[in-house]
A and B are shown apart, each in its own frame.
Chain A
């Protein structure tokens, strides 16, 4: 069975500071990894994904994530936070069979 752990249900940063949202997973087979973002009263939307190839993947709005197989991690980063980045972020793992498991989410607050 696969699982996803997002460390820290709430993260607060100042505008312009580094954003780091942590995600660790367990999977019996090499997974596909995703980060989704959810703004208030909206559906989840894809930020970025890792399937194969380069382990550092870039997404929308300046976010990127690095797949580290040895650490079973897929942490999300952004060099400089913007007020508009305030939202809830979900890490998800999908198997080759298409079964997806989501973490419990991290709420990002950006202080002016």
Chain B
């Protein structure tokens, strides 16, 4: 079974530029998560989708971050404009779905973003 795919793996941009990350979850997984992991900290949930609907985006900085999950499969996370403090690893994860219990999450390899 193919795992969670993410691209790109690494990205370097200047502040005030925009950037987009892509995620393809495991086939059949209804729930998709985007996490931000700043160096020295644990992953922090940015947004959680159930199929193509948003379940939780309470920690998403909506003035600069946006995410969508069209057709309940792939997802993109965008930052516009980027700030220095956005330098982090962005993880995408998926799980079978909330209605069937809190299944474990399967993580992609992550995207390391450096903002200069």
Q: Could you list which residues of chain A lie within 8 angstroms of chain B, going by C-beta atoms?
A: 4, 6, 9, 32, 34, 36, 41-46, 49, 51, 90, 92, 94-105
Contact = CB atoms under 8 A, between A and B. Distances in A.
A97 to B, nearest CB: 7
**10 nearest CB pairs, A to B:** A102-B42, A43-B107, A98-B98, A44-B107, A94-B102, A32-B102, A104-B42, A46-B104, A43-B109, A102-B43
Q: Which one of A99, A101, A103 has the highest number of Cβ atoms from chain B below 10 Å of its Cβ? A: A99
10 contacts: A6-B42, A43-B91, A46-B104, A46-B105, A95-B102, A99-B56, A100-B33, A103-B42, A104-B40, A105-B42
Contacts of A90: 42-43
Interface in B82-116: 91, 93, 98, 101-102, 104-110
Given A90-B42, A90-B43, A100 B105 contact: yes
A63 B98 CA distance: 27
Nearest to A52: B101
Interface residues of B, number: 25
B55 interface: yes
Contacts of B108: 43
Contact of B102 (A36, A43, A51): A51
B93 to A, nearest CB: 8
Interface in B42-95: 42-45, 48, 55-56, 91, 93
Nearest to B42: A102
Interface in B11-63: 31, 33, 35, 40-45, 48, 55-56
